[in-house]
Amino acid sequence: MAYDIVGYEAMVGGDYDDPELVAGDDVDDLLSGYDIIGARRRGPARRPVAAAVARRPVFAQRQVPQHGTLLREQEPSKDGQLVLPMSSSGAIAALTAATITARPQTKAYRPQRIVIAASIASFFTISDIKVGNQSQFVQAGTIPAEAFVQSAFGVAMRMDTVQTAQDFVFQVNNVDAAARSFLCVIFGRSVS
């Protein structure tokens, strides 16, 4: 029983230095006694390898046979409503700006609602909210933190998705004459 190795001519096509191997030997002589799993069965007339290589165009002699898929896209395994804390690590000095950064540890996190504690909201303004380096404001400006207190209505948002290893940044200003801590939580959807 004779077999052809799929893509053998492409591998042999001019890459070997041994002229005897390419010129006269046959695949069966090289691999006698071995069964090649998945090889194509050869027909009754057997051709020498060198003759088959000589009949192919030059551009086809170096083709590498294509194999199966190397990468496969994986769907998210679960999603849900999660909480992202965005509070300052300590007190923000009086009349000072501060940057608060979070990096969600999920594949994707989409912030949907900002909730700032009503007890401190009157002491802060928000000058920017960023996902990576993209501002979530439609223009530059400052908004009062009171717009996002827990009792506020109509403040649901659909911000950009925070990808893995991407920063979610709040730039806040303490407008009070005393040092204050900023307390905030973000509600959003997450997939992992």
pLDDT digits (tens, 9 = 90+) for 76-118: 566 788 999 999 999 999 999 999 999 998 889 999 999 999 9
pTM, to two decimals: 0.59
How far apart CA 133 and CA 155 sit, in angstroms, is 23
Query: Residue 14: is it exposed, middle or buried by C-beta count within 10 angstroms (0-12/13-18/19+)?
Result: exposed
Average pLDDT over residues 141-163: 94
| Mean pLDDT, the chain, integer | 77
CA distance 137 to 140: 7
Is 123 in contact with 174 (CB distance < 8 Å)? yes
Helix (H, G, I), strand (E, B) or coil at 111: strand
Q: Report CA 56 to chain centroid distance, whole Å.
A: 41
Q: Which residue matches tokens 């994707």?
A: 108
Residue 75 pLDDT grade (very low, low, confident, very high; cuts 50, 70, 90): low
Q: What pLDDT is stored for residue 191 in this prediction?
A: 80
User: CATH number of the domain at 79-191, please?
Assistant: 2.60.120
**Percentage of the chain surpassing pLDDT 70?**
59
6-45 pLDDT, tens digit per residue, is 555 554 554 444 444 444 444 444 444 444 455 555 555 5
Cα separation of 152 and 155, whole Å? Answer: 7
- Kindly state the helix (H) or strand (E) to which residue 41 belongs, with its residue range: strand 40-41
Domain segments of the chain: what residues? 3-60, 79-191
d(CA 158, CA 110): 7
pLDDT value, residue 113: 96
